[in-house]
Amino acid sequence: MKKYSPSERKSLRVAALAGGVGGAKLAQGLAALLPPEDLTIIVNTGDDMEFLGLKICPDVDTVLYTLSERANPSTGWGVKEDSFACLSALKSLGEEGWFKLGDQDLATHLLRTQGLRDGKSLTQVIGDLARRMGISHTILPMCDAPYPTLLETDAGVLDFQTYFVQQQCSPVVKRIYWNHEKPGEASPQVMQTLQEADCVIFCPSNPFVSIDPILSLTGVRELLKTRFCAALSPIIQGKAVKGPAAKMFQELGFQPSASAVAATYQDLLDVFFLDVLDEAELPAVQSLGMDCLAIPSLMPTLTERTQTADLMLKYIQTLKSQGETL
């Protein structure tokens, strides 16, 4: 896959907002095209959890594993060819085993937990892990302090991993919220990245539990209103490529569709990308007052991820240069 060369385009500083599997795919495509100084990936930490004293950051790890080509291609999360001997031993010792803790994955959690106990910030620890994995792009957790996404469901208030992994997304979601008594603070590195970005790309992640946590941090939404923002739909043909986004849309009273995703970001987006299969929704999205382009977005392999990122970046460049000449 060729890299963008300076002759083809001006430098474009991109901040990508990402959740787990879908977000990581586009982030990997962007990373194949943009040099490290032009791409920073800001990742949701609302799903973070503690398990046996270990700090686990599922979305951050999916991005780390995907960018370092460690990810399990069949699940999208976890490490490829991982084993589960420790988890089996924990179960044989009477522990709950619903959280899928791979043996190689454990190494990441051990290093992160030790870094935090040594007094490093989550941002420092994730930076350290990215370097250890040979990743040259910057990956930032959205914030340093825990800021869990809470789901009010017909089975009570659940944190995300309990809802997602233990309960297999079966409870009906009534409301998604964060601790509004004490709003989350984006890390200084996240705020600086967003301030300096020529373009903020919302990766195809669940709007409610992957992107909204980032947007819910103090000052982020206001800052993004001053930035050029683009999003790629995580919904194709009314379905989420992975995860519970479509089910959540329905439970929260929306018809799951690409244009419904665009509507949730209406006040922020300059351009929305949807899948070629949803081309019929172009007018609906345009009626929300934003540009829209249909592109292939399933991105199973790195080649397709890079192609999708390439199409997005070129279109964003075109729109931005049009904006500059107007």
Give me the residues that bind a second copy (CB under 8 A), please: 52-54, 79, 82-83, 85-90, 92-95, 102-108, 110-111, 113-114, 117, 129, 132-133
Q: Which is nearer to a second copy, 110 or 157 (CB)?
A: 110
The neighbouring-strand residues paired with 150 are 159, 177
Nearer to a second copy, 135 or 294 (CB): 135
- What distance lies between CA 301 and its chain's CA centroid? 17
Which CB sits closer to a second copy, 122 or 271?
Answer: 122
Q: In angstroms, what is the minimal distance from the CB of 108 to a second copy?
A: 8
Residue nearer to a second copy on the CB measure, 52 or 298:
52
- What totals of helices (H) and strands (E) does the chain contain, helices first? 13, 14
- The residue behind tokens 């419904």 is 260
Shortest distance, position 64 Cβ to a second copy, whole Å = 11
DSSP H stretches of helix in 197-257: 212-215, 220-224, 245-251
Return d(Cα 186, Cα 151) in angstroms, integer.
21
Reduced to 3 states (helix: H, G, I; strand: E, B; else coil), residue 233 is: coil
Please identify, using beta-carbon distances, which residue of 95 and 196 lies nearer to a second copy: 95
CB of 44 to a second copy, least distance (A): 23
Q: Which is nearer to a second copy, 86 or 319 (CB)?
A: 86
- Nearest distance from C-beta of residue 134 to a second copy, angstroms: 10
Helix, strand or coil, per DSSP, at residue 54: strand
Joined together, the tokens standing for residue 72 give: 């399990």
Closest distance of CB 118 from a second copy, Å? 8
- Do 41 and 13 contact (CB within 8 A), yes or no? no
DSSP structural state of residue 198: S
Q: Whose CA is closest to 139, among 300, 27, 12, 303?
A: 27
User: In the beta sheet, which residues pair with residue 235?
Assistant: 240
What is residue 5's three-state secondary structure? Answer: coil
User: For a second copy, which is the closer residue by CB, 62 or 108?
Assistant: 108
* Residue 120 beta carbon to a second copy: minimum distance, rounded to whole angstroms: 12
Residue 102 beta carbon to a second copy: minimum distance, rounded to whole angstroms: 8
Pick between residue 82 and residue 144 the one whose CB is nearest to a second copy: 82
Could you tell me where the DSSP H helices lie in the chain?
21-33, 58-67, 85-92, 103-117, 122-132, 160-161, 188-196, 212-215, 220-224, 245-251, 258-264, 282-286, 302-325
Alpha-carbon distance 109 to 134, whole Å?
A: 17
Tell me the three state secondary structure of residue 125. helix
| Shortest reach from residue 11's CB to a second copy, in Å | 32
